[in-house]
Structure 1
């Protein structure tokens, strides 16, 4: 589908097309499409742009990642579709490994995600899932011993709440990326970035180390997430004042 850049919903429609394309490739699931729709609703309430609280968290996240000894970025099908290219840039810039880790596990989907990133020029983890996250039953807890399992800091974009909780119980420092500040994933984050995943990694790529210096010391996740919730509430309450379209 050809989407004109002049369309008021250009960015949103572009994301939908990307997800449908990756669904056809067998990388994104039907459940992933549904999840994106839920996230998109929250993005409307955020004004479809990175807000001050988003940037606060992103600066703290970058400083934490640079101070971590074994940071890993977890990616699923939706993350690959929406932010794959930005993640490749970020991983290359800072040498932070990426691992494919999916909710509806299948060897075929893992291989397709790994292959997609390889086509972008980045070798990622995920094919040798020789470890298991405690507390997660069946294949959902599979991960690599040299990746997520042994990481000190894990970036979890668009993750489900029980995996976030299980990683937290393992003692990992959790950097969550979620458009819904009320989700369980957001609540388990040590740093919760309330922003679109593509915008987040684009912002991280555009930030300098100097801009992030000291951000972690002054960052309070609870207060920052409250800012996001308050912003959404105020935006909803202002609907009565919106002009007619």
Structure 2
């Protein structure tokens, strides 16, 4: 039956005068001798309008290869990149106001903690270490997709960039109001914290932390996400731009002896971000 069908196909090809071409099998080339390779950001000139975006993509891909970032993190990054595109890939006034408010909240906290997942470690590990030093706040690894190996890879990544002790999740302490892997936290870290900086957070844990009475500062490019709406302060900006600005704001606070501004209205700032996104299509 298969032979007949193959003959029919050959006859049909002949009637249509289709030229049969030999199939060339892929050759194994010696190292460094491959005629073609995938393009990397090093092949893209810095003048390219998408250079920075491509650089960040490559950083996330490198994070996956090092075991720091989950493959699911690629999808999350792509979603954020789309919102950043709509925001013009720049930091707006509403984000600057949120950054200043975040600096004040974190410095006034009695026990601030910085929560780190794979995407954040791949993108801004050095800035996280600087933030930890500026606040005197511990870094704590916390990921959604359970993996001891990846937790260790994130800790190693942070330590490579100068971190000292990095807290790890423990079954000795669990958050209330959540059932995912992210409920496991360090008893002297997130569990004990009164304020937590959680860039690129997932909504269910942000809601759980708020229900437990903890202040949450997050960085999220989607002003309509559960995380953005549940957080105490949401910085609607790309984390690679927001972290250096947050460090700058902390230095300014120190110079001004901890100045205080008016109370921050998170929902009003989210509305401003949403208007900016919607205006791009009008």
TM-score normalised over the length of structure 1: 0.92
* Residues matched between the structures, number: 236
Structure 1 residue runs of 4 or more that deviate by more than 3 Å after TM superposition: none
* CA distance in structure 2 between the aligned counterparts of 1:39 and 1:213, rounded to whole angstroms: 32
Identify the residue that residue 166 of structure 1 maps to in structure 2. 208
Identify the residue that residue 105 of structure 2 maps to in structure 1. 64
> 2:162 pairs with 107, 121, 127, which one?
121
- Shift in Å at residue 170 of structure 1? 0.8
Identify the residue that residue 218 of structure 1 maps to in structure 2. 263
1:73 corresponds to 2:114? yes
Identify the residue that residue 185 of structure 1 maps to in structure 2. 227
Structure with the bigger RCO (C-alpha within 8 Å, sep 6+) is 1
Listed one character per residue, the Cα deviations across residues 93-114 of structure 1 (whole Å, up to 9, x for unaligned) are 2212111100001111111101
1:42 corresponds to 2:83? yes
Identify the residue that residue 272 of structure 2 maps to in structure 1. 227
- Shift in Å at residue 129 of structure 1? 5.2
Identify the residue that residue 60 of structure 2 maps to in structure 1. 19
1:137 corresponds to 2:183? no
Identify the residue that residue 84 of structure 1 maps to in structure 2. 125
Listed one character per residue, the Cα deviations across residues 30-84 of structure 1 (whole Å, up to 9, x for unaligned) are 1100000000000011111110000000000001111000111111000001111
* Structure 2: gaps spanning 5 or more residues: 1-39
* CA distance in structure 1 between the aligned counterparts of 2:51 and 2:74, rounded to whole angstroms: 18
> Is the radius of gyration larger for structure 1 or structure 2?
2
* CA distance in structure 2 between the aligned counterparts of 1:119 and 1:235, rounded to whole angstroms: 40
Greater helix proportion: 1
TM-score normalised over the length of structure 2: 0.80
* CA distance in structure 2 between the aligned counterparts of 1:44 and 1:54, rounded to whole angstroms: 15
- Shift in Å at residue 225 of structure 1? 1.1
